[in-house]
């Protein structure tokens, strides 16, 4: 009985402490260490652990707890718009675990006084490395020749067709932000010539600027998409741009799937109007056009450029730091404005 009473007292002492923790909504899957770190600091209302299959119903139920912040994943499960904010009117901060904010209506958040933070530069180095890896793979046909060898075709068919070198290639980068700049520096080290397109020329670089993406593609051997997704950049790589890139050109996309007109890209690859592609993102993830799966001049990864074991732990720390800043009344580490 004494043990039961002690347990009852212990439970009673825990509940008020838990109730005093600030509440937040979690709308993304996280690993065990991320989840534990959040729960030590916050009262977490977890969509994926709730058993509720429909997000609107979950939000309406969660609203009763008056959560002040939400952690969302980029470009997937939830779109933070007027309907989202209407469902949970107590929300005053959105922290996305992505660098891009195309799934968040920034103007609506600003109108309602809802602060927004993103992942900042947590992923930048890893995405830049991945972009270069995709490009080398496409040019040197690493994945394709690996399959050729593993299928036992080498002794039967002889040598696999040769790839092409990276050094000396003219690289056109769409979006010279944090990630685009890191990609440029890496490719410079390979002896590549860097061109770029951005909203405006950057005084801090000596690379040649192109105001037109079509003209950038026409002068480039490789086109790398590293820009954010918005109204201006949706399908920024279209049929005309792909035709300008030409039959020897290669496209690499580590931005967003919808930066590229995907049906036009598939047609360009099938018809040999461009030479190959390295793609980490797709328009309708996780769906990937079936035609791409069998092309040996295309290298695919599952929107994983941002993720390494190091960046995952960095993301956890960065997300928690933004949340703690918000709940403490301090400036967000990586605020995003409309």
Of all residues in the chain, what percent are helix, strand and coil, respectively (each to 5)?
40, 15, 40
Of 16, 92, 87, nearest in space to 325 by CA: 92
The tokens of 131 are what?
């972009």
Q: Which of 107, 199, 285, 310 is catalytic?
A: 285
Is 302 a residue of the active site? no
> Mind giving me the DSSP string for 87-136?
HSTT--EEEESSS--TTB-HHHHHHTT-EEE--TTTTHHHHHHHHHHHHH
* Rg of the chain over all Cα atoms, to the nearest angstrom: 23
Among the listed residues 28, 256, 316, 318, the single catalytic one is 256
| C-alpha distances in Å from residue 167, one per residue of 159, 220, 292 | 23, 13, 27
Cα separation, 284 vs 33, in Å, equals 29
User: Each residue of 289-310: b (16+ CB within 10 Å) or e?
Assistant: beebeebebbbeeebebbeeee
Phi, psi of 219 (to 5 degrees): -95, 0
Instruction: Say how far apart CA 185 and CA 19 lie, in whole Å.
Output: 49
Integer Cα distance of 258 and 287 in angstroms: 13
Whether 291 sits among the annotated catalytic residues: the reply is no
Residue 194 CA to residue 338 CA, distance in Å, equals 30
The residue annotated as part of the active site, out of 68, 141, 303, 316, is 303
Residue 324 bears catalytic tag: no
User: Which residues are catalytically annotated?
Assistant: 256, 285, 303
């Amino acid at each position: 009985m004494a043990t039961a009473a002690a347990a009852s007292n212990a439970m009673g002492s825990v509940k008020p402490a838990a109730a005093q923790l600030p509440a937040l909504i979690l709308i993304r899957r996280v690993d065990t260490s991320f989840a534990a770190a959040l729960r030590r600091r916050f009262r977490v209302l977890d969509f994926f652990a709730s058993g509720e299959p429909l997000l609107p119903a979950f939000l309406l139920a969660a609203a009763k707890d008056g959560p002040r912040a939400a952690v969302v994943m980029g470009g997937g499960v939830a779109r933070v718009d007027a309907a989202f904010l209407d469902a949970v009117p107590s929300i005053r901060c959105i922290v996305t675990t992505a660098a891009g904010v195309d799934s968040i209506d920034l103007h609506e958040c600003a109108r309602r006084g809802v602060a927004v933070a993103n992942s900042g530069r947590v992923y930048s180095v890893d995405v830049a490395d991945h972009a270069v890896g995709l490009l080398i793979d496409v040019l040197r046909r690493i994945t394709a020749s690996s399959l050729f060898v593993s299928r036992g075709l080498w002794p039967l068919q002889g040598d696999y067709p040769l790839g092409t070198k990276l050094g000396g290639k003219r690289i056109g980068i769409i979006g010279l932000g944090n990630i685009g700049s890191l990609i440029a520096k890496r490719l410079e080290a390979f002896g590549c010539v860097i061109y770029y397109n951005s909203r405006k020329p950057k005084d801090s670089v000596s690379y040649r600027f192109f105001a037109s993406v079509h003209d950038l593609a026409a002068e480039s051997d490789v086109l790398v998409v590293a820009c954010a997704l918005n109204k201006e950049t949706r399908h920024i790589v279209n049929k005309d741009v792909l035709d300008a890139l030409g039959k020897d050109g290669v496209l690499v996309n580590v931005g967003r799937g919808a930066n590229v007109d995907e049906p036009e890209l598939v047609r360009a690859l099938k018809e040999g109007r461009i030479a190959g592609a390295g793609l980490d993102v797709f328009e309708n993830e996780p769906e990937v056009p079936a035609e791409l799966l069998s092309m040996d001049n295309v290298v695919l990864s599952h929107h994983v450029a941002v993720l390494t074991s190091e960046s995952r732990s960095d993301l956890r720390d960065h997300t928690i730091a933004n949340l703690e800043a918000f709940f403490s009344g301090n400036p967000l580490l990586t605020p995003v404005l409309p």
